[in-house]
Amino acid sequence: MRPFLCVVEERESRKALSSNRKRHHAHISDFRRSKTAVDVAVAVKPTHLTFEVVQATPVDAIDGVLWGPYPTSISATVGDIVGVVR
């Protein structure tokens, strides 16, 4: 299973072992048994979704956040200004 989100702590990428979700909010925690937790807001748009980290604790222990990768079934070209996805 591919991760939705990983945190970078001590120069190491850590996958979440636990998560729960409510309507437009996800709480992701237990990154390899650390006390790190990340809250993500999910916004549903007419053509896409957006994800935003709204809280991360403990903030001083997190060096960064990695999103995805997300599997897709897109076979046509998408986007001609920013990039191309096949």
Q: How much is the pLDDT for 85?
A: 54
Does the N-terminal peptide bond of residue 46 adopt cis geometry, omega within 30 degrees of 0? Answer: no
Whether 76 maps to a domain, the answer reads no
Domain annotation covers residue 22:
yes
Side-chain-side CA neighbours of residue 42 (13 Å): 14
pLDDT value for 79: 54
Structural domain tally of the chain?
1
Q: What is the pLDDT of residue 53?
A: 92
Per-residue model confidence (pLDDT) at position 1:
65
Instruction: State residue 62 phi and psi, 5-degree precision.
Output: -100, 120
> 85 in a domain, yes or no?
no
* Position 58 in a domain: yes
- Domain limits for position 50: 5-67
Indicate whether this model's pTM tops 0.85: no
Regions of the chain short of the pLDDT cut 70: 1, 72-86
